[in-house]
Amino acid sequence: MHLRIGTRGSRLARVQAERVARLLAERGCQADLSIITTRGDTIDGVPLHEIGGQGVFVRALDDAILAGEIDCAVHSMKDIPALRPEGVTTAAILKRDSPADFLAHTLPLDTVRIIGTSSTRRRAQILRNLPGKFVEQLRGNVDTRLRKLADGRYDAIVLAEAGIERMSISVPGTRLSPEQFVPSPNQGTIAVVCRDDPDLTTILAEIDHPETRFDTGVERAVMEEVGGGCFTPQGIACQNGHLIGEILSLDGDRQVRIEEDVESLNEARLVGRRLRNEGRALIREAHERLGIGYER
């Protein structure tokens, strides 16, 4: 079978899709890339939560799959929202790269003052863990953000460590500990989605990594129970069944955190419900301050 792989047009997105194409070629399946522009790529002057959150990077590719224009699509798994359209399935999850955040900076860290990020989670964790720093909005792909850093618009910017490693970019800075700066659910993971067609899912299952599928499944189970999407500062990370979940206030001053080992998705959902119940006031507060309704 010859597959048509859909991807966003950024350099990182193409690198990720090319990795999938190579893995498939090693198993005797050839593939071509098809570049598809998403709403998240065309609007970069406002915070992500103001244009629809995670799903803005995914919907156009889902539509292309369902319309038969492509066979599958490659995503940074953290961009895939909890609610998925009928007829689309996550057929393969690649072995995870680093889930950590990376603070890119050329100045000594103690002289850094202005840090760029559009993530409510990263903002809250910076304000909590790096006193004396200020956070300003920054969106765009990796190259765009690095260019703005080089232009001196920020003293530092936050990137996913996996992204710069995949792009073979050498950039000075500081790796942020995933225990302190708990990552977004599924950060560092590449996922392949396709039509729910046995011919496609069977082929793509050959590049699936079961251990990563379990850990990312745990994270998504907790995320689904907590709700709030990218509007709420929340970090959820699982490695070999060891789960850390936290919800923060937007200013990073308050938090709830649960850390324990889980052996099943059902156990993960129970943790997610506890985290949601304990963090309900913080979730509601974040939504009210961002002007977004919250009814859970």
Q: Are 54 and 227 in contact (CB under 8 A)?
A: no
Q: Are 209 and 95 in contact (CB under 8 A)?
A: yes
Give Cβ neighbours of residue 9 (< 8 Å, ≥ 6 apart): 35, 36, 37, 41
Q: In three state form, how does the secondary structure of 158-187 look?
A: EEEHHHHHHCCCCCCEEEECCCCCCCCCCC
Is 239 exposed, middle or buried, given 0-12, 13-18 or 19+ CB atoms closer than 10 A?
middle
Catalytic residue among 79, 97, 155, 215: 79
Other Cβ atoms within 10 Å of 9 Cβ, number: 13
- Strand pairing partners for 159? 102
Residue count of the chain: 296
Instruction: Encode burial over 280-295: b for 16+ CB neighbours within 10 A, e otherwise.
Output: bebbbbbbeeeeeebe
Pairing of strands 242-248, 234-239: antiparallel
79 is catalytic: yes
Query: Measuring CA to CA, how many Å separate 29 from each of 23, 197, 204?
Result: 9, 16, 10
Q: Which amino acid is it at 113?
A: R
Return the active site residues. Answer: 79
